[in-house]
Structure 1
């Protein structure tokens, strides 16, 4: 049951928003729990906002694709910076999505639900001449044009969520820790009156509103289902949409309340918040070191 959901539905819509599952350093207990929640509760759709793998290796992709194809609900998948080959430069530059073949119909796919569309926005790139490493976000003009064209093609009155991997906030002007073109992208999406933009990358959930010259833009971030935790335990977002109301709950095995799970600012990168000025959720379970990647 992947792709578009055309069934009639008059009540609230429930979405599960997952991100950064990182097969290769996955948290098996958290993944089994999330899958059981999906099987039992049957949300109207699942949006996965990137980083399916840790190092884009073939075994990691096979495991990630097997897990995703077993979900019996409509699914859309964004590409994260960890999902583009690290070690095979030919594939990185000339066939970056080759390893998604088992789920290619889900990758950057628009989901059409009753009076709601989830529209993809690509924020990953094969290379960035402005900076190295190439892990941060960049909304190219082409990617933004594709997203805006998809939004503008929707029937009048359709509610819209945009799904991306990187949060769009631009934090620094030194060319190192930005989502390039993020500020302009937020403004034009706010001008299209989208309900919000779903993202991941920083491994802690958040629910923030950015003020732009075109109006406010809701930014909703999901945590991780991997061992690479930051300041919160593994989690996913449950999103309830009723009319233009969007309610977000950060669900987690430890049953930490949502306000204690969410960080109050988007960090500059996806590293653990180990400096005093970096955003930390109230639960503040920052690990001393990241688990090793083999």
Structure 2
């Protein structure tokens, strides 16, 4: 099965006139089984930006699983009370009111979680109820399926970027994901394409974290400032492959920039880390 991982669309800051159309066409041509979008569909959570995002999501042939990002939270200066009491009201109206979306078939189980709140800084947070949801969901899915967690904010540092925020309670979230048998975490937020295997505890089961660069905006970071990326994940019986695909505007297509292959690991029984 193939999964297209997109992030940081940022309608309102689209980089190239045809990039959204080209992205949709290429993802549909890949015949993916799922499109996972890890937040920041909009630049400023404006109505017209959400309408454009809704149109893009509807254009995908495959099912779509999407979580919000901090840019999908209404701005303080625009709706201060909404920011406090209902920060995702526009996201809920145009995208979905499900902030814990799921997708399950015979091959994969995918859970999206929310890390974007009105009263937190842009690094985001993952509260106790959301962390508990990780364990309860993955305990309910069939044994042996490939397990994917989707979240907007980063749970680990990317050392090449220097200092940057990670989500509050990131360590607890990673521990919960490890205990739940998660194989792959998909995220965005930092606008850089980065794939890294990690061990939460030395000698423990490995997790892979795949960050997608901004798929369509002009807000790339560091060496990716003028480039756009999405990830294509292929889940095989004994391994999974992540392709980082970069947009070539002169050719109107995304080409594979790099490929990483990881062997699938045995999913252990849920055993507390301490």
TM range (shorter): 0.7 to 0.9
**How far off is 1:256 after superposition?**
6.4
User: Offset at 1:20?
Assistant: 0.2
Contact in 2 for aligned 1:191/1:215 (Cα 8 Å): no
Structure 2 residue corresponding to 1:99, chosen from 79, 90, 95: 90
Q: Does the alignment pair 1:250 with 2:244? A: yes
Aligned match of 2:113: 121
Gap regions ≥5 residues in structure 1? 1-12, 129-133, 261-294
**Regions of 4+ moved over 4 Å:** none
**CA distance 1:171–1:242, change in 2 (3 Å):** closer
Alignment partners' CA distance in 1, 2:246 and 2:166: 29
Helix, strand or coil: the match of 1:156?
A: coil
* Cα distance, 1:120–1:251 mapped onto 2, change above 3 Å: same
SS in 2 for 1:154: coil
Structure 2 segments unaligned to the other structure (5+ residues)? 249-253, 260-274
The equivalent residue for 1:274 is: none
CA offsets per residue over residues 75-110 of structure 1, 9 Å max, x none? Answer: 000110000101212222222232122331665410
Cα shift readout 1:211-233 (whole Å, capped 9, x = no counterpart): 11243211011111211111221
**How far 1:117 moved relative to its partner?**
0.9
SS at match of 2:10: coil
- Once the two structures are TM-superposed, the CA of residue 252 in structure 1 deviates from its matched residue by 1.8
Shift of 1:42: 2.1
- 1:55 is aligned to 44
Q: State the alpha-carbon separation in 2 of the partners of residues 207 and 36 from structure 1.
A: 25
The DSSP-based 3-state class of the residue aligned with 1:96 is coil
CA RMSD of aligned residues (A): 2.4
The structure where strand makes up a greater share of residues is: 2
Q: Secondary structure, in 3 states, of the residue corresponding to 2:18?
A: helix
The alpha-carbon deviation at position 244 of structure 1 amounts to 4.3
Aligned to 1:184: 172
Q: For residues 198 and 212 of structure 1, what CA distance do their matches in structure 2 show?
A: 16
